[in-house]
Amino acid sequence: MEGKKLFGEFFKARRIANKKTLRQFCIENGLDPGNISKLERGLLPPPQSREKLEEYAGYLKIKKGSDDWYTFFDLAAAETGKIPEDIMAKGKIEDKLPILFRTLRGQKVSDDKLDELIKMLRDA
């Protein structure tokens, strides 16, 4: 999976960036080191509740609204095959997914459909 950043890897990188060992991090935040270790190694899936993700983001000192904030939530959603809640809340994105999928596969999409997809992504 080269080039693909997983939630656990991102979580661990943020913890290390805060200069915390696994044990220190868990003691300071009242977390189970075994579970966090499994999460970081990809043996446990990322939590899906927004509240739990926000709690973890706070522990990792991820600033709300930052690129890392969105990466954190996007990786959690993507790893379990979901579209992030904030994007779904923007409305009818599921109607545009076939266009996106065809584009990602390199299949021909009409210029009008591509413009529509770009506009939708910019508005998101």
- Per-residue pLDDT tens for 23-76? 999 999 999 999 999 999 999 999 989 999 999 999 999 999 999 998 999 899
- 94 in helix, strand or coil? helix
Distances (CA, A) of 11 to 16, 30, 41, 74: 9, 16, 10, 12
pLDDT at 1: 37
Residue 3: the pLDDT is 41
Whole-number Å distance between alpha carbons of 100 and 98: 5
List, for residues 45-56, the tens digit of each pLDDT value.
999 899 999 999
How many domains is the chain partitioned into structurally? 2
Can you give the residue range of the structural domain that contains 58?
Answer: 1-84
For 10, the token pair is 């991102």
Please check whether residues 78 and 99 belong to one and the same domain: no
55 shares a domain with 32: yes
The CATH number of residue 16's host domain is: 1.10.260.40
Residues 68, 14 contacting (CB under 8 angstroms): yes
The answer on 2 and 31 residing in a single domain is yes
Task: List pLDDT tens digits, range 77-105.
Answer: 888 877 666 666 655 666 666 666 666 67
